Amino acid sequence: MVEALWAPWRMDYILADKKGQKCIFCTVNGRPDRERLILHRTSRSLVMINRYPYSYAHLLVAPVRHVDQIGKLKKAEMADILFNLGVSMEILSKAFHPDGFNVGMNLGQVAGAGIRHHIHFHIVPRWIGDTNFMPALAEVRVIPEHLKQTYRRLFPYFQKLRS
């Protein structure tokens, strides 16, 4: 018997008009951070859940300022982004106990950057045996929990950073 795989949040992405789309990292019509899945922000960088994840609990870390090249970052922004990368991996380790991480950037369309004009890092937690036949055969990723639930699990950890 074939089971159905549901990823209801993907339809918004599939049907969206990409031409006039605003940058996901920049303030969008006053939408609250929670709605945008932003877990943590400082004056220089932010951490958010990837709405279209490669893997469970896939986070993005980006400068607050709209910047399209690493060389345009100020030293303080670089330091803040690196700090938030480290803190995010510590929090993911406490919350989900991954066996490792993939951390990196896709710079330029040819490198796979979906958001080309605002640089950002990907933090992809990994577990032994977390890859299976689905991505290879069906171009489908199996995410075991809704993004809003993942947000609710991670938010208290990031909230402690504010105090």
Domain boundaries, the chain: 22-151
Q: Which of 40, 77, 58 shows the shortest CA–CA distance to 122?
A: 58
**The predicted structure's pLDDT at residue 134:** 47
Looking at the predicted structure, is the pLDDT value of residue 145 above 70?
A: yes
Q: How confident is the model at residue 139 (pLDDT cuts 50, 70, 90)?
A: low
Residue 25: partners with Cβ closer than 8 Å, 6 or more residues away: 46, 48, 60, 62, 63, 64, 66, 115, 118, 120
Average pLDDT (112-133) is: 81
What's this model's pTM, rounded to 2 decimal places? Answer: 0.78
15 or 149: which leads in pLDDT: 149
Q: How confident is the model at residue 140 (pLDDT cuts 50, 70, 90)?
A: low
Q: How confident is the model at residue 104 (pLDDT cuts 50, 70, 90)?
A: very high
Burial 96-118 (b: 16+ CB within 10 A, else e): eebeebeeeebeeeeeebeeeeb
Average pLDDT (1-27) is: 63
Average pLDDT (115-140) is: 74
Q: Does domain 22-151 have CATH number 3.30.70.20?
A: no
> pLDDT tens digit string along 25-51?
887 677 899 999 999 999 999 999 998
**The predicted structure's pLDDT at residue 161:** 85
